[in-house]
């Protein structure tokens, strides 16, 4: 029986690289995104019966639960959950428009919180599995143009640390992944060479390597930066 992985926000960027990697390794992959056309393109590009997609905006709790229920109707045993959904909105606390913080918290934090809670009983039932949260270097660095994005990513790292402590005696691994500037559509239009960015495939390969470690070992945090250092947000 193939193993299964849930990847939120899998239609582009790091999420898409993760979909590609786990399909290559023979997993059944369940993913979601807000754009039905991008998900359709994903299915056509990979043309793999193990890929299953669902249209959902995970900044909305009801749609998170719809996604989770759709998964559980098909898959009773989940091996990996990767909380990847989210987005970056530049700004400063002192001059951000009203609602920016709420939007970033809902997409970058609440999506992971509600999806994890909905799927956690499947991990607890078999006392195994691995949960990853795609945080950011913005989870540990206060960028002056990061504003509410930094706040949301600091919170996501905190969520992941708490989850690790809660679940470490239950056989469930929890890992925070903190990539720096990664070559994804979030950086479209930026006048910098590709060499200044982390390839999304490198992040996916690193996550899969962490997953493969023995049951007695966990990488609690994975910090990945471009060789030339951070790019100021």
Q: Which domains does the chain have, with CATH numbers?
A: 4-224 (3.40.50.720)
Whether 188 and 4 have beta carbons less than 8 Å apart is answered as no
**Is 149 an active-site residue?**
yes
Q: Is 67 helix (H, G, I), strand (E, B) or coil?
A: helix
β-strands 51-55, 80-83: how paired? unpaired
Distance (Å, rounded) from C-alpha 80 to C-alpha 35? 23
20 CB neighbour count, 10 Å cutoff: 20
For residue 193, the model assigns a pLDDT of: 85
CA atoms within 13 A on the CB side of 188: 5
End-to-end, the C-alpha distance of the chain in Å comes to 44
Distance (Å, rounded) from C-alpha 201 to C-alpha 134? 14
For residue 194, the model assigns a pLDDT of: 83
Helix (H), strand (E) at residue 154:
helix 147-167
Which of these is catalytic: 110, 113, 149, 211? 149
Both structure tokens of 122: 């499947």
For residue 10, the model assigns a pLDDT of: 96
* pLDDT tens across the length of the chain (233 residues): 799 999 999 999 999 999 999 999 999 999 999 999 999 999 999 999 999 999 999 999 999 999 999 999 999 899 999 999 999 998 999 999 999 999 999 999 999 999 999 999 999 999 999 999 999 999 999 999 999 999 999 999 999 999 999 999 999 999 999 999 898 877 777 878 888 899 999 999 999 999 999 999 999 999 999 999 988 75
Q: Is 96 helix (H, G, I), strand (E, B) or coil?
A: coil
């Amino acid at each position: 029986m193939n193993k299964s992985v849930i990847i939120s926000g899998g239609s582009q960027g790091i999420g898409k690289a993760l979909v590609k990697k786990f399909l290559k390794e023979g997993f059944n992959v369940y993913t979601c995104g807000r754009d039905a056309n991008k998900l359709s393109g994903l299915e056509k590009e990979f043309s793999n019966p193990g890929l299953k997609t669902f249209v959902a905006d995970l900044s909305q709790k009801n749609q998170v639960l719809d996604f989770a229920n759709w998964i559980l109707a098909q898959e009773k045993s989940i091996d990996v959950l990767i909380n990847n959904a989210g987005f970056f909105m530049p700004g400063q606390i002192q001059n951000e428009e009203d609602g920016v913080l709420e939007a970033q918290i809902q997409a970058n934090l609440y999506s992971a919180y509600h999806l994890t809670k909905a799927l956690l009983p499947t991990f607890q039932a078999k006392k195994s599995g691995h949960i990853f949260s795609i945080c950011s270097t913005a989870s540990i660095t206060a960028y002056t143009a990061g504003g509410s994005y930094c706040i949301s990513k600091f919170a996501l790292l905190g969520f992941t640390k708490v989850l690790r402590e809660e679940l470490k005696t239950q056989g469930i691994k929890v890992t925070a992944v903190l990539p720096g500037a990664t070559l994804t559509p979030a950086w479209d239009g930026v006048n910098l060479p590709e060499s200044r960015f982390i390839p999304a495939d490198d992040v996916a390969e690193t996550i899969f390597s962490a997953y493969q470690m023995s049951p007695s070992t966990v990488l609690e945090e994975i910090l990945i930066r471009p060789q030339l250092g951070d790019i100021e947000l």
